[in-house]
Amino acid sequence: MIVGKPKHGLSLLITMHGSVLPRILPRIGAVMALAAAITWIDTYLMPLQHANAAAFTGFGIALSLFLGFRNNAAYERWWEARKLWGQLIADARALAREALVFLPDAQRMDLIREMLAFVHLHRISLRQVSPDAELRRWSTQTDDSAVRALNRMAELVQQGYRSGSVDGFGVRSLMERLASIGLAQAGCERIASTPLPFVYSLLVYRTSVLYCLLLPLGLVESAGWLTPIFTGVVAYMFFGLAAVTEELENPFGTSLNGLSLDAMCRVIEINLMPQIGYDAPDPAQPVGGYLS
């Protein structure tokens, strides 16, 4: 995720860090080249059939509404994912406090270790990456999963209840906390496993391409050799919105605009590790304005 001081003026206009422009530049270049070819043919070779600009105005408004709706749907996924991870952070802190009240020291430390393993297993599962050093610090099993870590936490609470070290009220509080953690986990998995409907994305993409290819016929009569520039600006807007939607659609990815799952796991470690005898690590720092 891009972090840091907001840029202003010329620096914001020319920055490429976090921009989708490098991804869509070949498509914009192709559309501008076609617009230049149409302008040359119309000017020097033979007059072409010019389209009414009013038709493109109505077409463009409808397309903008479609793109805006799709972009809003993708942002809602991104923001919901951030809220779910915020809930996980709050639940991890509350779980540690409740364990301090209700569990004996040995079981409390085991429970917190499992919670730390859970958040890293959850992160790795959402990003679909290989186990890393941060995870191996808390879980040595290569085939481990976040669900198993959550089940092990429930088993620790159950052992405490059976041994008599935890009363019924403590069991209820801890299990409700684990249930809240499980709901946040399931919500993240729902977002990760359910993309936006492909048929809708396909319709928007095809319509955007068709609009940009036909647009020069509506501009060439009035804009002349400025037609490629105007067409490129419109293509940047439409193709850029589509590319932004693709990034926001998967909030757990490693793109520059994805959520900073590593940093949020570090926040949980900072809060929980001192309770099991470890020094709290330093907060995660952005590298080149990017916080992973």
pLDDT digits (tens, 9 = 90+) for 144-190: 899 999 999 999 999 988 988 888 898 999 999 999 999 999 999 99
Question: What is the structure's pLDDT at 114?
Answer: 94
pLDDT at 269: 94
Rg (CA), the chain: 26
Give, for all 292 residues of the chain, the pLDDT tens digit.
Answer: 777 655 666 666 667 666 788 888 899 999 999 999 988 888 888 877 777 767 777 777 777 787 788 888 889 999 999 999 999 999 999 999 999 999 998 999 999 999 999 999 999 999 988 888 888 888 877 778 999 999 999 999 999 889 888 888 989 999 999 999 999 999 999 999 988 888 878 888 888 888 888 888 888 888 888 989 999 998 998 888 888 888 888 899 888 888 999 999 999 999 999 999 888 888 888 877 777 8
Query: Which of 151, 34, 173, 22 minimizes the C-alpha distance to 103?
Result: 173
Number of DSSP helices (H) and strands (E) in the chain, helices first: 10, 0
Q: What is the pLDDT, as a whole number, of residue 214?
A: 87
Q: Which of 37, 109, 128 is nearest to 277 (CA)?
A: 109
CA dihedral (141, 147, 150, 151) positive or negative: negative
CB atoms within 10 A of CB 28: 20
Q: Which of 215, 217, 220, 209 is closest to 231 using CA atoms?
A: 215
Q: Which pLDDT value is given to residue 92?
A: 96
Alpha carbon 172 to chain centroid, angstroms: 34
pTM attached to this predicted model? 0.87
